[in-house]
């Protein structure tokens, strides 16, 4: 499955390079919703909330009410996750709060799973320099995705794994890293970070991995019509 991304900052749709440098912005989420209408799911990340610099709640709620969305960014309490589900989010993406000092935040994850249901939870294992990073990719946990995946499986229905080293750089992604991740879990796996070409999309799809795509769509490097056609073919395949 191809999942177009809507990243929000200061009330606008943006794309960042490695979570730091703004590369472009689009005025409204409405425009992107129209363009993404043929895709089964959309990923929405509130970057302000992820970085602890405010939120874009109104836009998140609007998008979630109009499309099947997985929503993340600043989901640090059970109450916040519940609120997003109530606003229409199909799934919530949890990153920072899934981890405590030196390991997994089992208490929080237990409570979250009991509250919203395991099937509604995607855990973000965003990695930079080989280590899982949190707090808007600004802080390393010292953990690796492969070391924690199986321990996290009871608390979620899937993983979002962003290869931060190539995020937004339009240089391709690390297919070998994703192939290794695929070996460690039978859960749904979504790749992000540096996905630039149809070859990337085809390779990841062949591994049984979903593709969350942002910068390559917004810059026109990947054609939405071609992606939609590939998506339709992939869905129909046995």
Q: Nearest 5°: CA angle at 226, between 236 and 158? A: 55
CA dihedral sign of residues 154, 191, 207, 4: positive
**Cβ atoms of 161 and 125 closer than 8 Å:** yes
CA dihedral sign of residues 66, 221, 136, 110: positive
**Catalytic: which of 46, 48, 126, 200?**
126
* Residue located via tokens 């969350």: 212
126 is catalytic: yes
Bridge pairing between strands 210-213 and 188-192: parallel
Cβ neighbours of residue 91 closer than 8 Å, sequence gap 6 or more: 69, 70, 71, 120, 121, 122, 157, 158
Bridge pairing between strands 69-72 and 103-104: unpaired
7 is catalytic: yes
Catalytic residue IDs: 7, 126
């Amino acid at each position: 499955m191809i999942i177009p991304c809507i990243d929000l900052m200061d009330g606008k749709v943006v794309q960042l390079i490695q979570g730091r440098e703004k590369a472009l912005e689009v005025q409204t989420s409405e425009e992107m919703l129209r363009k993404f209408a043929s895709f089964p799911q959309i990923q929405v990340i509130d970057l302000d909330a992820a970085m602890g610099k405010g939120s874009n709640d109104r836009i998140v709620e609007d998008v979630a009410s109009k499309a099947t969305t997985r929503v993340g960014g600043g989901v640090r309490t059970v109450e916040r996750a519940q609120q997003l589900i109530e606003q229409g989010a199909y799934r919530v993406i949890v990153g920072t709060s899934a981890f405590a000092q030196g390991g997994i935040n089992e208490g929080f994850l237990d409570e979250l799973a009991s509250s919203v249901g395991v099937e509604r939870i995607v855990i973000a294992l965003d990695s930079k320099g080989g280590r899982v990073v949190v707090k808007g990719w600004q802080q390393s946990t010292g953990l690796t995705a492969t070391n924690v995946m199986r321990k996290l499986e009871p608390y979620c229905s899937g993983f979002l794994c962003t290869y931060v080293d190539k995020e937004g750089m339009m240089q391709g992604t690390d297919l070998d890293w994703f192939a290794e991740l695929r070996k460690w879990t039978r859960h749904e796996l979504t790749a992000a970070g540096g996905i630039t070409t149809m070859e990337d999309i085809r390779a990841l799809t062949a591994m049984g991995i979903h593709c969350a795509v942002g910068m390559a769509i917004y810059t026109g490097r990947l054609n939405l019509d071609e992606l939609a056609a590939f998506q339709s073919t992939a869905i129909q395949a046995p």
